[in-house]
A and B are shown apart, each in its own frame.
Chain A
Amino acid sequence: MDLQRINVKFFVENPDGILLTDFIRIFNSWIQASDGEYYDIADYHHVHAGPGVLLIAHEANISIDNTGNRLGLLYNRKQPLSGNNQEKLDFVFRSALEFCRRIEEEPAPQGKIKFGGNEFLFLINDRLLAPNSAATFRAVSPDLEKIAKTLYAGAEFLMDHRNDAREIFAVKVKSLVHFEVLELLHNLQDHGELKKEGSWDTTRSLSK
Chain B
Amino acid sequence: MIRTENLTKVYRMGEVEVQALRDVNLEIQDGEFIAIAGPSGSGKSTLLNMMGCLDKPTSGAIFIDDIDTGMLSENKLAEIRREKIGFIFQQFNLIHTLNALENVALPMFFAGVGRETRLKRAEELLAKVGLEDRVDHKPSELSGGEQQRMAIARALSNDPEIIIGDEPTGNVDTEAGNVIMDILEGLNREGRTIIVVTHDAEIAARAGRTKRMRDGKVLD
Chains A and B form a bound pair: no
